[in-house]
Amino acid sequence: GAASVATLATALWPLKPALPLTAGPDPSLYSVQAIERGRLVAAAGDCVACHTAPGGARNAGGLALETPFGTIYSTNITPDPRTGIGRWSFAAFERAMRQGVHQDGRQLYPAFPYTAYAKLSDADMQALYGYLMSQPAVAATPPRTELGFPFNLRPLLAGWNLLFHDPKPFTPDPSQDAEWNRGAYLVEGVGHCAACHSPRNALGAEKGGLAYLAGGQAEGWNAPALNQLATGERAWSGEELFQYLRTGYSPRHGVAAGPMAPVIHGLAELPASDLKAIVTYLMAVPGRTPSAARATATATATATATTTATTTATASAATSASVVAAPAATTATAAATNTAVPAPAAVSEAITLRRASGERIYQNACAVCHEAGSGPTLFGVKPLLGQNTNLHAASPDNLIQVILHGIQAPADDALGYMPAFGNSLDDRQIGDLIDYLRARFAPEEEAWPVDTTTIGRLRQHAQPQ
């Protein structure tokens, strides 16, 4: 009817009105309980991780978010009246959170996960607003986001929202119990887990259906699938997942690193009942069978690999036993041949040389912290590698990231720190090391393509964690 046409026209109309600026709320109007509730909502939503630049003030914005469409800079969400949200009314704040529209009427890029925040309850939305408005104001103007054409045309996002955004709050599933529904609310809504852990389509929207939580990308890291935790080849127990979400560490699966470490900082603030609810929900998420998911991931990893393995394998023989070795020159032997596929004996010799090099690097750089009985625990926990999830993954990207950049900001200080080896190992040496680690600790898995191009890309892409 006419009402439906009017609703459609409103959604499609790309120019939204600015909402009036106000003097800002009086934080004293919010109870201590309401502000604490808002603090927990902010912790679950991990606001500080995206809205704080390296070395910058908390929530003052300026973090560079790399997307396939260009670099987007996070905004200042402190109550500063000039550069932050200090003069935003609750109506303006709620519109941004539920509809992705700025106070001044601009469409917000969905790198800001309003598609998930729309599911917040009214009470949680009010509490979050009160909490943010009660925090210290910071005068800081983040860099301006400047995307190339046509992505700089923000009005086009009205059409994107019509296709991919449902602004309705979360609705409990009556067929599930209260704990499952609480977990669904946290995962689908404020926790916005799908923003990293779901694949995206060509327009940057999260895929649903059986692709929901089937694995994605985040800041140069592979975000693993969460839709087969209970049934995958390296299945998690509920107790293991709870411990990981609480502390950032699982003896069987490894340590939270990269973009996941700050997520653990927030989750650790939540009550145990909320973490149990998240575990209950995630352990029940239906997905593709593990074999199908692995086949897809393996095909993707193989398709993106280059053929640099054959040009660098011979150089592995010259690797020094010292970790801090001068970068070795690649040999022209493999590159000079016209043989498309090397003879099996040559491949076997190249692999043997590469893994011998990787073993020497491992013994000098890694064993003291990762080998049982090899010495004292130096920096915190002593994670053994035989069960480590990264070593059994379809892609070596996360392992490469950890080797390059270490773990400088662990999810919990008690876990300890891992030094970065990006300055002491060149790309070929890291390739040798990961090939050795895969063969030794995950021998049942297919070998990764040894790809120095990928290592070089990851070296340049990610900031230290």
Fold of 178-290: Cytochrome Bc1 Complex; Chain D, domain 2 (1.10.760)
C-alpha–C-alpha distance, residues 461 and 403, integer Å: 14
C-alpha–C-alpha distance, residues 239 and 114, integer Å: 31
C-alpha–C-alpha distance, residues 341 and 299, integer Å: 20
- Tell whether residue 369 is among the known ligand binding residues: yes
Q: Which residues contact 77 (CB under 8 A, 6 or more apart)?
A: 47, 51, 59, 61, 84, 85, 132
Residue 11: pLDDT above 70? no
What angle (nearest 5°) sits at the alpha carbon of residue 407, between those of residues 404 and 412?
A: 170
With contact defined as beta carbons under 8 Å apart, do 384 and 370 qualify? yes
Q: What is the pLDDT of residue 454?
A: 87
**170-206 pLDDT, tens digit each:** 999 999 999 999 999 999 999 999 999 999 999 999 9
- Residue 121, φ and ψ in degrees, nearest 5: -70, 160
Q: Angle, to 10 degrees, between the axis of helix 397-405 and the axis of helix 452-461?
A: 60
**Which of 15-29, 112-126, 128-142, 193-207 is least confident?**
15-29
**Closest Cα partner for 115 from 214, 195, 17?**
195
Helix (H) or strand (E) holding 369: helix 367-370
Question: Please, which pLDDT band fits residue 30 given cuts at 50, 70 and 90?
Answer: very high
C-alpha–C-alpha distance, residues 350 and 435, integer Å: 12
Burial 264-283 (b: 16+ CB within 10 A, else e): bbbbeebeeebbbbbbbbbb
Once rounded to an integer, what is the mean pLDDT over residues 140-160? 93
Q: What is the pLDDT of residue 186?
A: 99
Pairing of strands 70-73, 221-223: unpaired
Q: Across the chain, what does the average pLDDT equal? A: 84
Question: Please, which pLDDT band fits residue 56 given cuts at 50, 70 and 90?
Answer: very high
Q: What is the pLDDT of residue 374?
A: 56
**Which of 191-195, 210-214, 294-298 is least confident?**
294-298
- Tell whether residue 192 is among the known ligand binding residues: no
Range among 151-165, 178-192, 317-331, 406-420 with highest mean pLDDT value:
178-192
- Tell whether residue 461 is among the known ligand binding residues: no
- Tell whether residue 50 is among the known ligand binding residues: yes
C-alpha–C-alpha distance, residues 54 and 61, integer Å: 10
Structure tokens that stand for 441 in this block? 């600790």
Q: DSSP for 342-358? A: --HHHHHHHHHHHHHHH
Residue whose token pair is 């900082």: 265
Q: What burial class does residue 66 get, using C-beta atoms within 10 Å of its C-beta: 0-12 exposed, 13-18 middle, 19+ buried? A: middle
Once rounded to an integer, what is the mean pLDDT over residues 275-285? 97
**Which of 24-38, 134-148, 381-395 is least confident?**
381-395
Cβ atoms within 10 Å of 57's Cβ, excluding its own = 17
The correct answer on CATH 3.30.70.20 for the domain covering 305-461 is no
- Tell whether residue 370 is among the known ligand binding residues: yes
Helix (H) or strand (E) holding 433: helix 427-441
